[in-house]
Amino acid sequence: MSEYLNDPREMAIRTESGITLEEDNRKEVMYHWGAKVLDLCDLPVEEYMKPMTVIGVGGGGSSDDTGSSVTKKSVLMKISVISPDGDIISQNGDIIGVTNGDGTWKVRWTWDKGFNGSIVSMVKVYDESHTEYVVGATLSDNGNKQYESIIDCGNNTIKLIGAYGVGEQGSEFSDATGKTTTIVDENTDTEFNISIEINGTPSITVYDIYYGNACKNDSVEYSALGTIDMISSMDDNGYDFYFTIPASNDYLVELSKYDGGQTPYNTDDADELWEEWSENYEDEYRHTLRIYIPVIIENQYEFVLYNDNSGHYIQTEMAKSGVIKTYNNSEYSEYVNSNTKYLYDDIAHTFKMRFIMIKN
């Protein structure tokens, strides 16, 4: 027993000196924090504290020597000129589409994918007298994937697009002459490679698409219609919009009679009477969602509508009602969401929809 008590290894950890005895009683410096022991194997502390160099390869994108993973995305940006009447004009002055005009000449930028950060862009345009106008803009993704800037050309007519380009944020507009630039979003490790070109193909003509809702036996007033963005609708994610059905005054009046026990709800069968009335009312006056699509394009695209049900998009059935409306001298076909009717009762209801256009 005395030999055991005198064995120095029974006092192997000596916290007062930072020394730990190995099995052969060698003295070696280790570092103690509570029950933890750090053994540097005689490596100097200064060397241990130096940052390590790690070389690794990440997935999902290009990699560098630090092991970071960068996702690369390509964004195509197109420019065109919009006339006061809404004509979309290409580089050589050809009309390649029509949109809403607001009485001014404008340069329009559109892009196919969203991006984080911002860039600058410069466009030179010329009128019939070859007078040059320079239009500059700082572009960042705004959800609509387009931006417009007015051309200060007075009453002159813009005939063609000259020099144009993009540059990194902070550069002068006059220096934005490159056809590509790059944005790096460090928060998401995403590199956006943005290229720019002149919109010279007549593949997309922008039209207004309208939506509205009303009791199923009523028509929708033009003043109550909302607008669906056609360009955004052709994105893979489509275009999200909301509509709200207000509370019904007739329903509220009848409900107050039922709650107050007024005629005809002052009898023993009041509950049955109310249930019958409310069911008949909701069946008669439920709202339907209508979407109005220009007749000129309805055979060029497939139109898909989704209803957001607690975060899950459920496809609905769009049926052509046969109703034709005329808005702004253009004919529109009415489509209804045929497999969903929306409640019209004592509270307001807000619904989120997603609309997607697919080129045939």
For the ranges 27-31, 185-189, 316-320, the maximum mean pLDDT occurs at 316-320
Answer whether residue 205 shows pLDDT above 70. no
- Segment 287-314 shows an average pLDDT of 90
The answer to whether 110 and 141 have CB atoms below 8 angstroms apart is no
- Segment 19-42 shows an average pLDDT of 63
Residue-wise pLDDT tens digits, 218-247: 888 999 999 998 877 887 788 999 999 999
Answer whether residue 188 shows pLDDT above 90. no
Measured distance between the N- and C-terminal CA atoms of the chain, rounded to whole angstroms = 94
More confident residue, 349 or 340: 349
Report DSSP state, residue 247.
Answer: P
pTM for this one?
Answer: 0.46
The answer to whether 358 and 305 have CB atoms below 8 angstroms apart is no
- Segment 58-72 shows an average pLDDT of 55
Least Cα distance to 301 among 357, 355, 354, 356 occurs for: 357
What pLDDT sits at residue 247? 92
- By residue count, the chain amounts to 360
What residues contact residue 1 under an 8 Å CB cut-off, 6+ apart?
none
- Percent of the chain residues past pLDDT 70, beyond the cut: 79
Which amino acid type is present at position 291?
Answer: I
What pLDDT sits at residue 256? 95
- Segment 284-302 shows an average pLDDT of 90
- Segment 105-121 shows an average pLDDT of 91
The answer to whether 190 and 73 have CB atoms below 8 angstroms apart is yes
Residue 354's pLDDT band, with cuts at 50, 70 and 90, is very high
Q: How many other C-beta atoms are found inside a 10 Å radius of the C-beta of residue 198?
A: 16
Answer whether residue 183 shows pLDDT above 60. yes
State the virtual CA torsion across 115, 118, 119, 124 in degrees, nearest 10.
90
What pLDDT sits at residue 311? 83
- Pick the range with the lowest mean pLDDT from 4-13, 124-133, 233-242, 339-348: 4-13
Report DSSP state, residue 18.
Answer: T
What pLDDT sits at residue 25? 55
